């Protein structure tokens, strides 16, 4: 029983839940090809290109308490507030029945893909909590070393999430990847 209690995460880590929102952008067309072209013209700007869909987040923290304890500094992480926003395409007019059916398969697959990105953002916040809550740095009464260590850890966690996201997209859009199949099925009508 003691082992089970030790394995449980700290209560503060379980108290928060992300807020997930869906925003849409309008596309037009009456065929899969027209819809996909409209996505290319109206999709969210991501770098130098437009995307089919995009997942973004805003992360803020409650009070992060850097507390000097003698010559040491201890960080108590505040409660995170994570807002994940999924931006997805939405036809602006009713679609012919066959196209509607293909659209529903396409958008369900795209939504599932974006949910994986959302899950990676949630994992990132849990990783931040695990890496920083209770962090103690010796001989740091002004907590400056502790703050620098937090920045270093957050940078590594953020870079790992970004790379994981890129790797996932590379597979999904690559030859035979799930999103490639979804796009081809939409454009080719099934």
- What DSSP designation does 109 have? H
**111: pLDDT strictly greater than 80:** yes
pLDDT digits (tens, 9 = 90+) for 34-79: 999 999 999 999 888 899 999 999 999 888 899 999 999 999 878 9
Per the prediction, the chain carries an average pLDDT of: 90
Distances, alpha carbon 42 to alpha carbons 88, 91, 101, 145, in Å: 11, 11, 22, 46
Q: What is the pTM of this model?
A: 0.86
Cα 46 to its chain centre, rounded Å, is: 14
Give the whole-angstrom CA distance, residue 29 versus residue 47: 25
Q: What SS3 class is residue 163?
A: helix
Does residue 25 contact residue 43 with C-beta atoms inside 8 Å? yes
Tell me the sheet residues that pair with 84. 20, 57
**Phi, psi at 25, each rounded to 5°:** -125, 145
pLDDT of residue 14: 53
Q: What SS3 class is residue 151?
A: helix
pLDDT digits (tens, 9 = 90+) for 143-168: 999 999 999 999 999 999 999 999 99
């Amino acid at each position: 029983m003691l082992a089970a209690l030790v394995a449980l995460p700290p209560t503060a880590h379980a108290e928060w839940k992300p807020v997930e929102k869906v925003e849409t952008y309008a596309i037009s067309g009456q065929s899969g090809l027209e819809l996909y072209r409209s996505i290319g013209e109206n999709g969210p700007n991501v770098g130098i290109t437009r995307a089919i869909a995009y997942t973004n987040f805003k992360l803020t923290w409650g009070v992060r308490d850097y507390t000097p304890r003698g010559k040491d500094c201890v960080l108590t992480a505040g409660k995170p507030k994570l807002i994940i926003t999924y931006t997805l395409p939405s036809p602006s007019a009713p679609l012919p029945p066959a196209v509607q059916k293909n659209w529903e398969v396409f958008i369900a697959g795209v939504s599932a893909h974006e949910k994986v990105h959302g899950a990676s953002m949630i994992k990132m916040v849990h990783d931040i909590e695990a890496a920083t809550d209770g962090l103690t740095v010796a001989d740091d009464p002004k907590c400056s070393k502790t703050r620098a260590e937090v920045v270093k850890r957050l940078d590594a966690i953020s870079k790992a999430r970004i790379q994981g996201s890129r790797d996932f997209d590379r597979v999904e859009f690559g030859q035979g990847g799930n999103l490639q199949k979804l796009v081809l099925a939409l454009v080719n009508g099934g």
